[in-house]
Every structure is written in structure tokens, then in C-alpha cells.
Amino acid sequence: MTTATPVTTTPPLVADKLSASKIAKKRLSSPWASLAAIVLAVLWTLPTFGLLVSSFRPERAIKTTGWWTFFSNPTLTLDNYRGVFGEDGGVNLAAFFVNSLIICIPSVLIPLSLAALAAYAFAWMNFPGKNVLFLIVFSLQIVPLQVTLIPLLEIFVNVKLTGTFWTLWLSHSTFALPLAIYLLHNFMKEIPSGLIEAARVDGAGHVSIFFKVMLPLLTPALAAFGIFQFLWVWNDLLVALVFAGGGDEVAPITLQLANLSGTRGTAWQLLSAGAFVSIIVPVTVFLLLQRYFVRGLLAGSVKG
């Protein structure tokens, strides 16, 4: 991905950047920093690790002994995972998996694009009511999902969209907007006005500026929000249940995993395996989008 900046870097800065990052690497690989980071990482992962271990233990062991005893007394089983995939060996799960993907992709792309436009307007344009509107938009984050269920479902029933993916795409996009606009607005404001001015001087209109200046510099922000939106839609159950009904045609994978523990929640050991099956995709997305966190947002574009 190329960073398209209309402003050129001055050569000496580039050379110095190299030595600076060398120094930085040396500095940050100080043993204390590494130790602190490792301690934090271990603490954070410990609970999840417990679940991972439990997912390979038989039901009886899970219910009577702690997961750490696995190391002194290992009893391994794949039963929990088999329970997740069901008797047909995962064919059914594959269909739900497809549903989840189909729900997620537009639900990420649509709000991202709409929010980018709106955030640009809030960040770089002047118009009456700008501040008030912005406050309203980001305050809307407080509206709990549950109060929108019945009003929105009534509307969807009236326009006969229930049971289709459209209800999910529309709802997920709407719910994502306040946070998306708020986040993107913040990153957009960080872009130095000098760049915008220079582009305007070159005769670029808003559309041009948006695509040639803003978007490339916004990539880490877009990636950051993209990760979370994907994650939240992927793990969502409530919106799918309410707006798409319970039909198998639109049910996401979360429904299957939630139902795993059985009608009265007796088989909760299956949840441990189910959780890990469900994690794979969001973590993959996270890792794939990490590359957009590597480059500097304003790499070499600062003018004194």
C-alpha cells in the first residue's frame, strides 16, 4: 500500500529516521520493558488458557477438578469438539459459517464508508450546527440495543423485510455509526491542515482530497475500527435473533454455539470448545489487519 502524500520528505530526515528507529529498537528491548510486557501478556492470557485446556478435558474432569491439574494428570479427549461439530461432521456448521460471513461483510463495509464520509464532514468542513450534530451523533452510543428491538422490528415487519439479511445489514450498520464516526473523526483531525491546504491550493475538491489525501493516511484507523466492527458483528447474537428470526437460512454461527449448552444449560463443557471454534475468524482478521498498524500515519509528511 502506497502512502500518497503530496508533500515530499526532505532527504536528511529519511536518513535520520533509520538511525532513530535503530535506537528505538535498542531502547525498547530493554529487559524491564520486555519483562513487564511478558507479565501482562501472561496474566491476560491465563484465563483463556484455562478454557483452552478445559476444552480438551472430559466432562467429568471439568466438573470435579481444576484445569491446572491437567498437567499432573492429563486426560485428553476430543469429545467436546465433536459435540460442537455435531453428528454430521460440520456440514451444518459450515452453512451457519457462511451466514455469519454474509452478515459480517456488508455490516463492516457499509458503516465504515458512511462514517468516513460523515467524519470528514465533521472534521474538515464548516457548516451551521456542526458541533451540536456531532455531540448528538456520538452521544447516541448510549442508546442500549434492547430499546431499539421492538420499534425497528415493527418497521421491518411493515416493509416486509423480516427473515432476510437486509434487516441485519441495516441494523448493524446503524448501530455502528456513532462509534465509527467518533473514532474516525478523531483520527482525521490528527491529519495536519497543511496537507489539506496544499491539496486545495493544487485545485483539489472535497472528493479528491477525501480519496487522495485522507483515506491513505487513515488506513490504521480504518483497520482498527474494521477489526472491532467485524468482531462485534461476528459475535453478535441478539440482533440476529430479533431481526432475522430464528430461521436457519439467516442464522449466524453464534446461534449454534449459544445453543450448544443444551436446553437447560447442562452441557456447558461444550461451550469451552465452541468458544475456540468461534474465536478463529476474529483473531485471523485481527492478525491480517495488523500490517496496517505498522506504518506511521504521517510518515515523513510533517513540514517543520
190-249 residues in contact with other proteins (CB under 8 A) are 190, 205-207, 211, 215-216, 219-224, 226-228, 230-231, 235, 237-238, 241-242, 245-247, 249
Give the separation between CA 84 and CA 190, rounded to whole angstroms: 46
Smallest distance from other proteins to CB 146, Å: 6
Of residues 6 and 220, the one with the C-beta less far from other proteins: 220
CA angle, 46 then 52 then 55, to 5° = 145
- Using rule CB under 8 A, residue 189 touches other proteins: yes
Choose, by CB under 8 A, the member of 3, 6, 7, 163 that binds other proteins: 163
Of residues 8 and 160, the one with the C-beta less far from other proteins: 160
Smallest distance from other proteins to CB 275, Å: 3
- Using rule CB under 8 A, residue 162 touches other proteins: yes
142-161 residues in contact with other proteins (CB under 8 A) are 142-158, 160-161
| Cβ contacts of 108 within 8 Å, gap of 6 or more | 226, 229, 230, 233
Give the separation between CA 90 and CA 107, rounded to whole angstroms: 25
Going from the C-alpha of 111 to that of each of 100, 107, 161, 180, 230, the distances in angstroms are: 17, 7, 20, 7, 11
Choose, by CB under 8 A, the member of 5, 183, 188, 233 that binds other proteins: 183
The helix/strand/coil state of 232 is helix
Give the separation between CA 219 and CA 229, rounded to whole angstroms: 15
| Cβ contacts of 187 within 8 Å, gap of 6 or more | 218, 220, 221, 297
Choose, by CB under 8 A, the member of 8, 11, 29, 201 that binds other proteins: 29
Choose, by CB under 8 A, the member of 3, 6, 7, 133 that binds other proteins: 133
39-98 residues in contact with other proteins (CB under 8 A) are 40-41, 44-48, 50-51, 54, 59-60, 62-69, 78-79, 81-82, 84-87, 89-91, 93-95, 97-98
Smallest distance from other proteins to CB 75, Å: 13
